[in-house]
Amino acid sequence: MKLQRIKIVLWIAALFFLGAVLMTFASFRIYHLALPTVTLCEQRSGTICREYSANATVGFHETTDYRFPISVTIQRVFVSPGDSITRGAPLFQVDINSLKGEELNLLLQMETLESSRDNESEDNISYQYYEYRINECKTSIDTIHALLESDGLVKSEETGIVTGLFVPQNAVISENTTILSTAQQSDGNMYLHWELSNDVALLFNKGNVVEAESFGTLTITNKSGRNYTCDVTTEVVGVFLPGETVKVRLTYRSVRYDHLIPVEAVSFIDDGAKGIVFYTQERKTLFGSELYVMSETFSVLDYDTLNVAADIAPGLDANNFVVIYASRSLSDGQAVRE
- Both 245 and 200 in one domain: the answer is yes
Q: What CATH number has the domain bearing residue 315? A: 2.40.420
Helix (H) or strand (E) holding 257: strand 245-262
User: What is the pLDDT confidence band of residue 208, given thresholds at 50, 70 and 90?
Assistant: very high
Enclosing domain of residue 120: 96-151
- The total number of structural domains in the chain stands at 3
Least confident segment among 97-101, 218-222, 256-260: 97-101
Same domain as 262, residue 332: yes
Task: Please tell me whether residues 219 and 194 are part of one structural domain.
Answer: yes
Q: Are residues 268 and 236 in the same domain?
A: no
Residue 114 vs residue 8, higher pLDDT: 114
CA dist 143 and 202 (Å) reads 52
Residue 243 domain-assigned?
Answer: yes
Same domain, yes or no, for 209 and 263?
A: no
Per-position DSSP letters for 152-192, written without gaps between them: TEEE-SSSEEEEEE-S-TT-EE-TT---EEEE-SSTT-EEE
Dihedral class, residue 270 (left if φ above 0, else alpha if ψ from -120 to 50, else beta): left
- Listed in sequence order, the DSSP H helices in the chain are 2-33, 99-118, 125-149, 198-201
260 and 329: one domain?
Answer: yes
The CATH number of residue 198's host domain is 2.40.30.20
Measured from the Cβ of residue 309, the count of other Cβ atoms closer than 10 Å reads 23
Whether 264 and 324 share a structural domain: yes
Residues 104 and 37 in one domain: no
- Does residue 162 lie within any of the structural domains? no
Confidence of residue 26 (pLDDT cuts 50, 70, 90): very low
pLDDT tens digits, one per residue of 275-316: 999 988 888 876 677 888 888 888 999 999 899 998 866 566
H or E stretch including 56? strand 44-60
Closest to 94 in 3D by CA, of 106, 84, 86, 102? 102
